[in-house]
Structure 1
Amino acid sequence: MFWLGSLLVTDALTAVLRQELDRSRNSWPRGVGVIAAAQVGDRVSHAVVGTVNDAGDHPTPDTVFRIASISKVFTALALAVAVKRGEVGLDEPAEIYLPGAFRLPRYDGRPIFVVDLATHTSGLPRDHTGTDSLDGLAATLARTTLASPPGQFHRYSNMGVALLGLLLSHAANTSYETLIADRICRPLQLGDTTLAPTQSQTRRLAQGHDPDGQPAVVPTIHVGAPSGGLYSTATDLLRFLRLHLGQVPHAELAPAAAVALAPRFSTPDAHTLGLCWHHTQLPNHATSIWHNGGLPGFHSYAALVPGADTALVVLANQDTDLESTATTILTRLTD
C-alpha cells in the first residue's frame, strides 16, 4: 500500500477493480480503453484495460475523456449554487430566467418550473432537432407540444437540461462555459474539466471508437453543452464526487452539493431523482446516486454511495455498456 496525497491506496481495492474489468473486457472491442477509479473512505485506487490511442497507451487517471451526460450533474451543481445565491428559484417558471426570444410551452396553462427541467419532468422531448444553435432551439420550442403535464411524469430530456444551462448563464450574465469554470472547476481545482480542451489536454484526450472498434467521429456540442459537452478525467471526477460525499470542504459548494443530491421526484418503479442525479438501489440494497453518459466514441459512469462513503468513476473510449460492470464493482465495495 502507499499514499497518494492524503489518500491511502490499497491492493485490496485495486484487486476488486482489476477483477471486474478483466471479467468484462471480452465484451468490449479489442483496443478500447477503460479506466475504473474508486474511493472508499480514505482509500483510492484505479485499474485499466485496453488502450486509448494509436500509440497503444493505456488510460491513466489523467487521460481526458468526453463525459457526455455526466455534464448534467455539473449543471445541477451550478443550479444549486444559483439557488443558494438567490439568482433563480426551483419552483419558479423557467421561462422568466430565459432570454426574451424563448417561450416555453405550457400544458393546460401549467408552466414548466426550473425544478421540472432538472428532474426530467418537464414534458419536453428528449432532444431538439435542427441546428445546434440558440435560434434552432428557440424554433424547436415554438413548435413543441408537451407530452405530459410538467412535474408529473419522468421523461429524460437533453433539451430540458440544455435550457437549464441557458437560463443559469443568462441569470448570471455570463456564458455557460465561464459559469462552470468560475463556480465549480476553479474552486474545486478541477483543472482538466472543460468544454474547450487546451493543447496539453488534447494530447491526453482518448481517441473515441465506434462499436466496431474503429476511430469514431465524435460530435462537438454547443447549445447542448449543459447536457453533454464536458471533457474530464477520472481524477477530476473522483474529486467532484468527493465533494458530494462531504469530503471536500467548501463554504459554498458543499451545501450546494447537498441541495443537488436531495430526492425530489420518484417514479412508480422507485427510481428517484435529485437535481439531475439518479437514486437507485444496488443488489445489496445500498442506495447508489449516479449518472452515466454516452456519445459516439465514449461512455462514462459516475456514482456515489453515501452510506458507505464510496465513489466510483468508470470511463471508456467507446459507447459501450459500463453499467453492469459499475454496478458489480459498487456492490462489492459496499457489501
Structure 2
Amino acid sequence: MLIDALQCGNFDREVFEELKAGGFTCVTPTLGFWEGTLESLDELGRWRDREREYPDLIKIVRKAEDIRAAEREGKVGVLLGYQNTNLLEDRIAYVELFADLGVRVLQLTYNNQNELGGSCYEEHDSGLARFGREVVREMNRTGIVIDCSHVGDKTTLDVIEYSQKPVAITHANADSLFPHKRNKTDPVLKALSQTGGVIGCAAYRNITPADACATVDAWCEMVARTVEIAGIDHVGLGTDYSHKTGPNHLDWMRKGRWTRGVQYGAGSAAVPGKVAKPDWLVNIGALNSVEGGLRRVGFDEGDIAKIMGGNWLRLYEDVFG
C-alpha cells in the first residue's frame, strides 16, 4: 500500500495514469489554498467530473474502506482536501456541509494568520482561537482530518491538546533535521505521536536537506531520523509533489489576493522561484523506490508497511471510519 498524504498542482489523465503505474493506493490532492466557499464548491464539482471521466483510474475516498476498495479495483484513491479553511467563510455549519460533500482533510491555516489560529510564518503565533476550537471539535464530529502542516507551533500544540481525534501534519519535515519555519519542532512531533497523529515526510526541496534531495537512500535516512523522534507508528509519506505547475500557480499559492508585494513562500530571496524536484523524484512514480530505500537503511518489512501507507490508513480509520 502506497499512500501520499499531500500532492498539489494540475491533475489530468496523464497524471492519474502515472500515479496508477507508480503503484499509488491513495493520494490527497490540494483542492484549494485561498479560495472562498463558491470557488471551493466549483473545485469539488471538477473533482466529481474527473471521477466520472476517468472511472478506470480514480475513486474518491469517503471512508477508509474505499482505499482498500480502490486497491482491489486497481484504481488510485483520491482523498479530497484543502490547504486552508477560507472555504468555511466563518460559518461553523459549513464544516458539516463540506464533510457531507466528501471533503476529508482541512488544513487549519495556510501561510497567514486566520480566524482559527496562527500560521508558521507569523512573527507571533496566537495559538488556537475560540472559533478554532469550535472548528476542531466540529471536524472531529464530522470526520475531517485536521492538518497542521502550515500551522504555527503554538497553535499546532493547542490543536493536538484540544482535538479528540489524532491530528495530521501531512507534509513537513523535522525542524531539528532541517531548520525552517515550515518544519516542525521535536516537541510538536512528540506531542503529535503521543495522541496518535502522523507526520508525512516531505520531498519539497525548500524544506528538505540537500542530501535527502540527492538520493532516495539519504531521504530514507531522514525518514529514519524522524522515526527516532516521533516513533514508528507516527511517520508516513507526504511529498508535497506538484504536478504541471507554472509561475501563475506559484504566485497564487504564495500571494493569493491578500498582497501586492513579493512573497517567497518556503523559498527566499536567494531561491525565489520554483525549485527543482528532488533528483530521485523527478517523476512521481519514483516514490515507490522508497520501499527499497527504507529496507536498505534498516527498516523491516512491518515497519516499511507502516511508513508506506499503514500509518495513514490507521489515522484515517480513527478520524472518519
TM-score w.r.t. the length of structure 1 is: 0.26
Determine which structure has more spread, i.e. the larger CA radius of gyration: 1
Q: Which has the higher strand share?
A: 1
TM-score w.r.t. the length of structure 2 is: 0.26
